[in-house]
Amino acid sequence: MSIILEQLLNGLTIGSFYALIALGYSMVYGVMKLINFAHGDLFALGSYLGYTLLVWSAGAVSQRFGLWGGMAAALLFAFFAVGCVGVLMERVAYRPVQKSGRLPLVVSALGVSIFLENLIMAVWGPRYQAYPASVVPTYTISLGWFHITSMQLFILILSFVLMLILYYVVQKTTFGAAIRATALDKEMATMLGIDVGKITLFIFFLGPALGGMAGVMNGMYYRQISFVMGWNYGLKAFTATILGGIGNIPAAMLGGLLLGLVEMFGAAYISSAWKDVFTFLILILILIFRPTGLIGEKVAEKV
Amino acid sequence: MSELLVLKDVVVSYGAVTALKGVSIKLNEGQIIAVLGANGAGKSTMLKSISKIVPLKEGKIFYKGKEMASLSAHDLAFQGISHVPEGRRVFPTLTVEENLNLGSYGARKRLLDEEVEETKKWIFELFPVLAERKNQLAGTLSGGEQQMLAIGRGLIAKPTLLLLDEPSLGLAPILVKEIFNAIRKIHEESGTSILLVEQNAKKALAESDYAYILETGKISIEGPASELAGDERVKAAYLGGSAVTKKE
Ligand SMILES: Nc1ncnc2c1ncn2[C@@H]1O[C@H](COP(=O)(O)OP(=O)(O)OP(=O)(O)O)[C@@H](O)[C@H]1O
Ligand SMILES: [Mg+2]
């Protein structure tokens, strides 16, 4: 198979992780104007929780429900558990300092990040852990000259479906309009009868939940997970968020996929050692030349 | 006629600044009441205290005879109070129709879908330009169109009480006329009670039944609108000329 197609699939796969994490950054930024630096660690936490469900249960889940059933269980478990951690995080670390301004919020987010990273290390240990091959499908699907691993196909389909649902809910439903309105003007939203507290709760569940799920997918794809992975993925996804345009759901999806592609093609055609350089070069360039991102807010508010 | 809204000795402060220093007003069902006053008099604060955006320091507010102490700000839309705030505050990156639809968000549990659709049709008759622009982003509307949208967004909840904060602010004279005509029509066709905050005293008095004049947080003069329009003090301070009724 041509290297272009191969890198395209690799890029879209890793781009899906970035996009799913970026969505959480973007949604939380929308309602709280906070860059949630702990978001990458929620992704890592999801990865470990999925790992635990599959491995510490000695594969029992996979044996009982089959390979795909085990995966589904791990994904759902990480989704709900990390979502709940997100809600808890908002209550404990963000809401109490929200009134004090943006700087205390950011400091609090860094605190949560350090806390989570160390929590993961304390619980699961500082060494790399690995999703065993026996809990994830490893076969390759071939259509003539076209090959794709079952894991890649699964990740692409699941991410695509999740993003489609999210796009629909946020852009096409009244509830979604209420979320966007809350992000724009909380007081006005309140006057229209929107319960801003509930919307915030929803966002702080869903954003981390999607990140947690991405963590499990990432673990199944690369197998190896470590307690510091949240930092790296968090930064990449943050770059993706800025690349697309922060606070904008479709932009986060676009930014994630695009960044994945840039990384993989850069790695293939220039040098894989420079992979991270591309990412942060993009971050710098976009901040200098187009700080609103590729599809940032198009209309300025008329005063 | 029953009392719909009563403010009793309402005091509101922002830190060291006391914006309302014991304000009492009354609005009967079906009335249009005007609140006039210069910049900084506390007019917007009064509306915000009614919609619970700012807390009362002292005093009481009764709506339909009951104190709304246990309710939150986001409950008021359901209770039938729509607040059209100063400066329009439409959501710029949402379409005109999305903005309108959100107006019924808090009221959706007391309204049938058909009612909302019917009301929307009525709003489009009132402001045909909104129908033409319904798929456009609200941020691309002109100031006058945004004001119409803000009013429409308040109306779609079929409010019992409509709070209007300076709807004519910053508009060209022809649009000011159009907005006041719309207010009259809204009142005639829906019977909604209206609390109208304005700096355009002449126009506001012409549309209202009763009026209050707010001066640095206190009601200084009140009376039937027609009487106030002829009152020497009011004439001198608020109807005297463009210098006093000048907008921000
Ligand atoms: N959020 C706030 N924080 C501090 N002070 C405020 C705040 N909002 C209003 N004030 C002060 O309260 C007083 C009343 O303000 P308010 O906005 O109610 O006046 P207004 O009559 O609506 O004026 P305008 O005609 O300019 O809209 C002013 O002195 C204002 O500076
Ligand atoms: Mg005001």
Query: Which residue's CA lies nearest to atom 4 of ligand 1?
Result: B14
Calculate Rg over the CA atoms of chain B. 17
Q: From residue A81, give the alpha-carbon distance in Å to each of A90, A288, B53.
A: 14, 38, 35
Above 70 in pLDDT, residue B153? yes
The pLDDT of residue A299: 37
Q: What is the 3-state secondary structure (H, E, C) of A105-120?
A: HHHHHHHHHHHHHHHH
**Distance from the alpha carbon of residue B134 to the mean position of ligand 2, in angstroms:** 28
Residue showing tokens 């069902």: B29
Residue A235 backbone phi and psi in degrees, to 5? -65, -40
**Mutation test of ligand 1: which of B10, B11, B12, B17 has the most ligand atoms closer than 8 Å to its C-beta?**
B17
Residue A303 burial by CB count (10 A; 0-12/13-18/19+): exposed, middle or buried? exposed
A83 contacts A212 by C-beta, under 8 angstroms: yes
Q: Which of B205, B219, B202 is nearest to B42 (CA)?
A: B219
Please tell me the distance from the alpha carbon of residue A18 to that of residue A261, in angstroms, as a whole number.
11
Give residues with Cβ within 8 angstroms of A206, minimum separation 6: A24, A27, A83, A166
For range A183-190, the mean pLDDT: 96
Question: Rounded to the nearest 10 degrees, what angle do helices A60-89 and A39-55 cross at?
Answer: 160
For range A37-51, the mean pLDDT: 97
Q: Report the CATH fold assignment for B3-247.
A: Rossmann fold (3.40.50)
Ligand 1 close to Cβ of residue B85 (< 6 A): no
- The average confidence (pLDDT) of chain B is 93
Candidates B93, B158, B248: best to mutate against A (most CBs of A within 10 A) is B93
Above 60 in pLDDT, residue A5? yes
Above 50 in pLDDT, residue B243? no
A139-174 tens-digit pLDDT: 888 888 888 999 999 999 999 999 999 999 999 999
Above 70 in pLDDT, residue A90? yes
For range A18-26, the mean pLDDT: 96
Calculate Rg over the CA atoms of chain A. 19
Task: Give all domains of chain A, ordered by start, each with its CATH number.
Answer: 2-289 (1.10.3470)
The pLDDT of residue A58: 65
B161 contacts B11 by C-beta, under 8 angstroms: no
> What is the 8-class DSSP label of residue B194?
E
The pLDDT of residue A180: 95
Q: From residue A137, give the alpha-carbon distance in Å to each of A152, A189, A283, B6, B226.
A: 10, 46, 35, 69, 82
Ligand 1 close to Cβ of residue B14 (< 6 A): yes
For range A122-128, the mean pLDDT: 95
Q: Does the beta carbon of B75 lie under 8 angstroms from any beta carbon of chain A? A: yes
Within 8 A of A298 by CB-CB distance, chain B residues are 93, 137
B154 contacts B83 by C-beta, under 8 angstroms: yes
Please tell me the distance from the alpha carbon of residue B146 to that of residue B89, in angstroms, as a whole number.
8
3-state secondary structure of A149: strand
- The average confidence (pLDDT) of chain A is 91
Above 60 in pLDDT, residue B247? no
3-state secondary structure of A142: strand
Considering only alpha carbons, which residue of chain B is nearest residue A177?
B98
pLDDT bucket at A69, cuts 50 / 70 / 90:
confident
Considering only alpha carbons, which residue of chain B is nearest residue A197?
B74
Instruction: State the alpha helices, DSSP H only, in chain A.
Output: 3-32, 39-55, 60-89, 95-98, 102-124, 150-172, 174-184, 186-191, 196-222, 229-244, 249-269, 275-289
According to DSSP, the β-strands at B161-165 and B81-84 are: parallel
